[in-house]
Amino acid sequence: MTDARLKLRVQRMEWAATGVIELELRARDGSALPPFTSGAHIDIALPNGLSRSYSLKGDPAQTDRYVVGVGLDPKSRGGSAFVHRQLRVGDEVEVRPPLNHFPLVDEAEKVVLIAGGIGITPMVAMARELARRGANFALHYAVRSPNRAAFLDELRGYTPGLDLHVDEAAGGPCDVAGIIAGLPRGAHVYCCGPAPMMAAFEAATVEMPDDQVHVEYFAPKPVETTGEDGPFTVELKASGKTVEVGADESILTAVARVGITVESSCEDGICGTCETRILEGTADHRDSVLTKSEQDAGKTMMICVSRCKGDKLVLDL
């Protein structure tokens, strides 16, 4: 149920902008790390016992390192605050190999990247890759103030036409709806940013084909539910066990009670680490990872937040 963890050393920490640190991790012996593609993230198990997901901004061609951007969340529960205030060069952390729920399409008439704040991190890798391909793309980057714009010099090297929106100077947030309205018919659009930007993006793209709209959340999106949660049964097919999931607990917590360990990180339905295959039953999807078509297909679910529509689920655990 678990992937092998990598023990990596903090090789470099650099100030990237107000509230943003660039963090580079390498193996002690400098050996190659599992490969990744643009849009991927890693889960870092911090020395304080927390595990957090961070998007990779580095170059996949540099196989000996993982580079992430870590924004200091004012509401941090101990993840970003620990990285900024206590993690130091030379420290060791355990890292889960990269996952990618936010990949670039191979071909598109045009690709438009929209980022807000620390949501720029995966876009750095994407812009680099798109520039390398000679693709037709644009990048819109929104920040609250100039001192919060991270990785600008690097981005301008890949994206000479970078559109930087500063809320303070513009007198308000980026016009996401206006950007979407100007897209050509076959464009693919990617968005990663704070909750208000994501809500505006979801509203603006509601009429677009599902496979042309790509999102990555770093905070869970609001999920509408009907009534109170009730208990249900989960059969764990691979292990031959059955567990009752209480109204006030997650499937992830319930399966742990019967000795089944499932890798997890955010426990908010935003990282995709706990994705589990559904064999029977219908999930009540509450994650921010799967697209609507993927949720409707009902093949997998995020067991940290999603529940059951009905009395029973059969999972491949």
Q: What is the mean pLDDT of residues 138-153?
A: 97
Q: Are 124 and 211 in a shared domain? A: yes
State the residue range of the domain holding 238. 232-315
DSSP per position, the chain: --PPPEEEEEEEEEEEETTEEEEEEE-TT--------TT-EEEEE-TTS-EEEEEB-S-TT-TT-EEEEEE--TT-SSSHHHHHHT--TT-EEEEEEEE-SSPPPS--S-EEEEEEGGGHHHHHHHHHHHHHHT--EEEEEEESSGGG--SHHHHHHH-TT-EEEEHHHHTS---HHHHHHT--TT-EEEEE--HHHHHHHHHHTTTS-GGGEEE--SSPPP----S----EEEEETTTTEEEEEPTTS-HHHHHHHTT-----S-SSSSS-TTEEEEEES-EE---SSS-HHHHHHTSEEETTT-EESSSEEEE--
What's the pLDDT score for residue 229? 93
Q: Which of 99, 128, 156 is the last residue of a domain?
A: 99
pLDDT in tens, 294-309: 999 999 999 999 999 9
What's the pLDDT score for residue 1? 40
| Domain-embedded: residue 132 | yes
pLDDT in tens, 35-62: 999 999 999 999 998 889 999 999 999 9
pLDDT in tens, 233-256: 999 999 999 999 999 999 999 999
Q: The CATH number of the domain where 149 resides is what? A: 3.40.50.80
**pTM more than 0.95:** no
What's the pLDDT score for residue 16? 97
What's the pLDDT score for residue 292? 86
Residue 2 has pLDDT above 60, yes or no: no
Q: The CATH number of the domain where 54 resides is what? A: 2.40.30.10
Residue 24 has pLDDT above 90, yes or no: yes
